[in-house]
Amino acid sequence: MKPPAAREKQRRDHMKELYSTLASLLHLQPYVRMSLPELLDQATRSLKQLKERVEGLKSRKEELEKVVRLNGESSNNERRLRIVQVRESVDMELEANLIIMVNHKKVMPFEVLGVIEQGGAEIKSATFCTVGHHIYCTVHAKAFQARIGFDVELIEARLLKLVY
Protein backbone atom coordinates (compact mmCIF):
# COMPACT_ATOMS: atom_id res chain seq x y z
CA MET A 1 0.00 0.00 0.00
CA LYS A 2 1.31 3.44 -0.98
CA PRO A 3 1.78 6.15 1.60
CA PRO A 4 -0.74 9.03 1.47
CA ALA A 5 1.86 11.46 0.07
CA ALA A 6 2.60 9.16 -2.89
CA ARG A 7 -1.12 8.69 -3.62
CA GLU A 8 -1.64 12.48 -3.51
CA LYS A 9 1.27 13.05 -5.92
CA GLN A 10 -0.13 10.40 -8.26
CA ARG A 11 -3.56 12.07 -8.12
CA ARG A 12 -2.05 15.52 -8.89
CA ASP A 13 -0.03 14.11 -11.78
CA HIS A 14 -3.15 12.46 -13.17
CA MET A 15 -5.10 15.76 -12.91
CA LYS A 16 -2.26 17.62 -14.70
CA GLU A 17 -2.41 15.05 -17.47
CA LEU A 18 -6.18 15.49 -17.79
CA TYR A 19 -5.92 19.30 -17.90
CA SER A 20 -3.17 19.03 -20.51
CA THR A 21 -5.41 16.80 -22.63
CA LEU A 22 -8.26 19.30 -22.25
CA ALA A 23 -5.99 22.16 -23.34
CA SER A 24 -4.92 20.22 -26.43
CA LEU A 25 -8.57 19.48 -27.32
CA LEU A 26 -9.32 23.21 -27.07
CA HIS A 27 -6.43 23.86 -29.47
CA LEU A 28 -4.72 26.18 -27.03
CA GLN A 29 -1.18 27.19 -27.82
CA PRO A 30 1.37 25.50 -25.55
CA TYR A 31 2.83 28.86 -24.48
CA VAL A 32 -0.53 30.25 -23.35
CA ARG A 33 -0.72 30.08 -19.58
CA MET A 34 -4.14 30.07 -18.05
CA SER A 35 -5.45 29.17 -14.66
CA LEU A 36 -7.48 26.01 -14.20
CA PRO A 37 -10.79 27.87 -13.69
CA GLU A 38 -10.11 29.84 -16.90
CA LEU A 39 -9.35 26.61 -18.73
CA LEU A 40 -12.62 25.08 -17.54
CA ASP A 41 -14.55 28.22 -18.52
CA GLN A 42 -12.97 28.08 -21.98
CA ALA A 43 -13.92 24.40 -22.29
CA THR A 44 -17.50 25.17 -21.26
CA ARG A 45 -17.78 28.00 -23.82
CA SER A 46 -16.33 25.78 -26.55
CA LEU A 47 -18.78 22.99 -25.78
CA LYS A 48 -21.73 25.40 -25.86
CA GLN A 49 -20.57 26.80 -29.23
CA LEU A 50 -20.15 23.32 -30.65
CA LYS A 51 -23.60 22.31 -29.41
CA GLU A 52 -25.16 25.40 -31.05
CA ARG A 53 -23.32 24.64 -34.29
CA VAL A 54 -24.56 21.03 -34.27
CA GLU A 55 -28.14 22.21 -33.71
CA GLY A 56 -27.82 24.71 -36.58
CA LEU A 57 -26.40 22.08 -38.90
CA LYS A 58 -29.15 19.62 -37.98
CA SER A 59 -31.87 22.18 -38.75
CA ARG A 60 -30.18 23.10 -42.03
CA LYS A 61 -29.95 19.41 -42.96
CA GLU A 62 -33.67 18.94 -42.27
CA GLU A 63 -34.45 22.05 -44.32
CA LEU A 64 -32.40 20.78 -47.28
CA GLU A 65 -33.91 17.29 -47.02
CA LYS A 66 -37.37 18.87 -47.16
CA VAL A 67 -36.44 20.78 -50.32
CA VAL A 68 -34.97 17.61 -51.84
CA ARG A 69 -38.20 15.71 -51.10
CA LEU A 70 -40.31 18.49 -52.61
CA ASN A 71 -38.18 18.60 -55.76
CA GLY A 72 -38.20 14.81 -56.00
CA GLU A 73 -42.00 14.71 -55.81
CA SER A 74 -42.49 17.25 -58.57
CA SER A 75 -44.54 16.05 -61.49
CA ASN A 76 -42.03 17.14 -64.14
CA ASN A 77 -41.30 14.59 -66.83
CA GLU A 78 -37.63 15.20 -66.22
CA ARG A 79 -37.10 15.15 -62.45
CA ARG A 80 -34.27 17.59 -62.00
CA LEU A 81 -32.90 18.52 -58.65
CA ARG A 82 -31.64 22.07 -58.61
CA ILE A 83 -30.78 23.85 -55.43
CA VAL A 84 -28.73 26.98 -54.97
CA GLN A 85 -28.52 28.52 -51.51
CA VAL A 86 -26.22 31.37 -50.53
CA ARG A 87 -25.99 32.63 -46.94
CA GLU A 88 -24.08 35.45 -45.30
CA SER A 89 -22.94 35.29 -41.69
CA VAL A 90 -22.36 38.14 -39.26
CA ASP A 91 -18.58 38.20 -39.66
CA MET A 92 -18.68 38.82 -43.45
CA GLU A 93 -18.42 35.17 -44.39
CA LEU A 94 -20.38 33.51 -47.15
CA GLU A 95 -21.57 29.94 -47.50
CA ALA A 96 -22.89 28.68 -50.83
CA ASN A 97 -24.57 25.27 -51.14
CA LEU A 98 -25.42 23.83 -54.53
CA ILE A 99 -26.91 20.54 -55.65
CA ILE A 100 -26.55 20.04 -59.37
CA MET A 101 -28.01 17.25 -61.48
CA VAL A 102 -25.09 15.75 -63.41
CA ASN A 103 -27.18 15.06 -66.53
CA HIS A 104 -28.81 18.48 -66.51
CA LYS A 105 -25.91 20.74 -67.32
CA LYS A 106 -22.17 20.42 -67.19
CA VAL A 107 -21.10 22.93 -64.56
CA MET A 108 -17.39 23.02 -63.87
CA PRO A 109 -16.17 23.66 -60.32
CA PHE A 110 -13.95 26.53 -61.44
CA GLU A 111 -17.02 28.28 -62.90
CA VAL A 112 -18.80 28.13 -59.53
CA LEU A 113 -15.72 29.47 -57.76
CA GLY A 114 -15.29 32.18 -60.39
CA VAL A 115 -18.85 33.44 -59.86
CA ILE A 116 -18.25 33.74 -56.12
CA GLU A 117 -14.92 35.52 -56.58
CA GLN A 118 -16.48 37.94 -59.08
CA GLY A 119 -19.05 38.79 -56.42
CA GLY A 120 -16.31 40.12 -54.13
CA ALA A 121 -15.55 37.08 -51.98
CA GLU A 122 -12.29 35.22 -51.45
CA ILE A 123 -12.62 31.41 -51.40
CA LYS A 124 -11.57 29.83 -48.10
CA SER A 125 -12.64 26.25 -48.83
CA ALA A 126 -14.70 24.35 -51.36
CA THR A 127 -15.91 20.77 -51.52
CA PHE A 128 -17.43 18.99 -54.48
CA CYS A 129 -18.86 15.51 -54.01
CA THR A 130 -20.59 13.38 -56.63
CA VAL A 131 -23.19 10.94 -55.34
CA GLY A 132 -25.19 9.12 -57.97
CA HIS A 133 -26.49 11.70 -60.44
CA HIS A 134 -25.95 14.70 -58.18
CA ILE A 135 -22.99 16.96 -57.45
CA TYR A 136 -23.08 18.43 -53.94
CA CYS A 137 -21.03 21.59 -53.62
CA THR A 138 -20.27 23.67 -50.52
CA VAL A 139 -18.13 26.79 -50.73
CA HIS A 140 -16.99 28.93 -47.81
CA ALA A 141 -15.69 32.40 -48.62
CA LYS A 142 -14.83 35.68 -46.93
CA ALA A 143 -15.14 39.23 -48.26
CA PHE A 144 -12.02 40.53 -50.01
CA GLN A 145 -12.38 43.75 -48.06
CA ALA A 146 -14.52 43.91 -44.94
CA ARG A 147 -15.61 47.49 -45.60
CA ILE A 148 -16.82 46.71 -49.11
CA GLY A 149 -18.26 43.25 -48.48
CA PHE A 150 -19.99 41.19 -51.16
CA ASP A 151 -23.40 41.04 -52.78
CA VAL A 152 -25.21 37.85 -51.73
CA GLU A 153 -28.17 38.41 -54.07
CA LEU A 154 -25.90 38.97 -57.06
CA ILE A 155 -23.85 35.86 -56.31
CA GLU A 156 -26.98 33.76 -55.84
CA ALA A 157 -28.53 35.08 -59.07
CA ARG A 158 -25.36 34.32 -61.05
CA LEU A 159 -25.10 30.83 -59.55
CA LEU A 160 -28.75 30.17 -60.46
CA LYS A 161 -28.07 31.33 -64.01
CA LEU A 162 -25.00 29.09 -64.19
CA VAL A 163 -26.80 26.01 -62.84
CA TYR A 164 -30.00 26.48 -64.83
pLDDT tens digits along 106-131: 677 788 888 888 888 889 999 888 88
What is the dihedral angle through the alpha carbons of 25, 29, 35, 40, rounded to the nearest 10 degrees? Answer: -20
Strand partners, 94: 88, 141
Band the pLDDT of 163: cuts 50, 70, 90. confident
- Residue extents of the structural domains in the chain: 1-73, 80-163
Report the C-alpha gap between 87 and 85 in whole angstroms: 7
DSSP 2: -
Q: Is the pLDDT of residue 20 over 60?
A: yes
H/E stretch holding 161 reads: helix 152-163
CATH code, 80-163: 3.30.70
Report percent pLDDT > 90 for the chain: 8
Q: Count of CB atoms within 10 A of residue 128's CB?
A: 16
Q: Tell me the H-state helices in 1-100.
A: 4-25, 36-72
Q: How many CB atoms lie within 10 A of CB 70?
A: 9
CB atoms within 10 A of CB 9: 12
Residues 27-61: tens digit of each pLDDT: 766 667 788 888 888 888 888 988 998 998 888 88
Nearest to 94 by CA among 132, 42, 146: 146
| pTM for this predicted structure | 0.51
